[in-house]
Homo-oligomer: A and B are copies of this chain.
Amino acid sequence: MRKERGLLIVLSGPSGVGKGTVRKELFSQPDTNYEYSISMTTRKPREGEVDGVDYFFKSHEDFEQLIGEGRLLEYASYVGNYYGTPLDYVNETLDAGRDVFLEIEVQGASQVRAKVPDGLFIFLAPPSLTELQQRLVGRGTETEDVIASRILAARQELEMMNLYDYVVENDEVQLACDRVNAIVTAEHCRRERVEKRYLAMLEGEY
Interface positions of A (Cβ within 8 A of B) = 1, 122-123, 125, 129, 132-133, 136-137, 151, 154-155, 157-158, 161-162, 164-169, 178-179, 181-183, 185-187, 189-191, 194-195, 197-199, 201-202, 205-206
Q: Which residue in B151, B165, B189 is a CB contact (below 8 Å) of A179?
A: B189
Copies in the complex: 2
The chain B residue sitting closest to A165, CB to CB, is: B191
Minimum CB–CB distance for A133 against chain B, Å: 6
Q: Which of A161, A169, A191, A195 has the most CB of B within 10 A?
A: A191
Q: What chain B residues lie within 8 Å of A164 (beta carbons)?
A: 191
The 4 lowest CB-CB distance pairs between A and B, nearest first, are A186-B186, A182-B185, A167-B194, A182-B182
Minimum CB–CB distance for A12 against chain B, Å: 13
Q: List 7 A-B contacts (CB under 8 A).
A: A133-B201, A136-B201, A151-B202, A166-B189, A179-B186, A179-B189, A183-B185
A191 in contact with B167 (CB, 8 Å):
yes
Q: CA A158 – CA B201 in complex, angstroms?
A: 12
B186 in contact with A187 (CB, 8 Å):
yes
